[in-house]
Amino acid sequence: MNGTPAVFLDRDGTINVATVRDGKPYPPDSLAELKIVPGAVAAIGALRRSGYRTIVVTNQPDVATGKQRRETVEAINRVLMSELILDDIRVCYHVDADGCSCRKPKPGMLLEATRDWNIDLARSFMIGDRWRDVEAGRAAGCRTLLIESGHNERRAEPDFSVMSLVEACQIILNVSELAG
* Whole-angstrom Cα Rg for the chain: 15
Torsion of CA 42, 46, 49, 51, to 10 degrees: -140
Contacts of residue 58, defined as CB under 8 A and 6 or more positions apart, other chains included, come to: 10, 11, 12, 89, 90, 91, 92
- Out of 12, 62, 129, 133, the active site residue is 12
CA 127, 45, 102, 28 torsion: positive or negative?
positive
Helices (H), the chain: 40-49, 70-84, 108-117, 131-140, 165-179
Q: Label the pairing between strands 160-162 and 88-92.
A: unpaired
- Out of 10, 62, 129, 133, the active site residue is 10
Whether 10 is a known active-site residue: answer: yes
Q: Residue 144 corresponds to which amino acid?
A: T
Whether 88 is a known active-site residue: answer: no
In DSSP notation, 4-18 reads B-EEEE-SBTTTBPP
For the annotated catalytic residues, the residue numbers are 10, 12
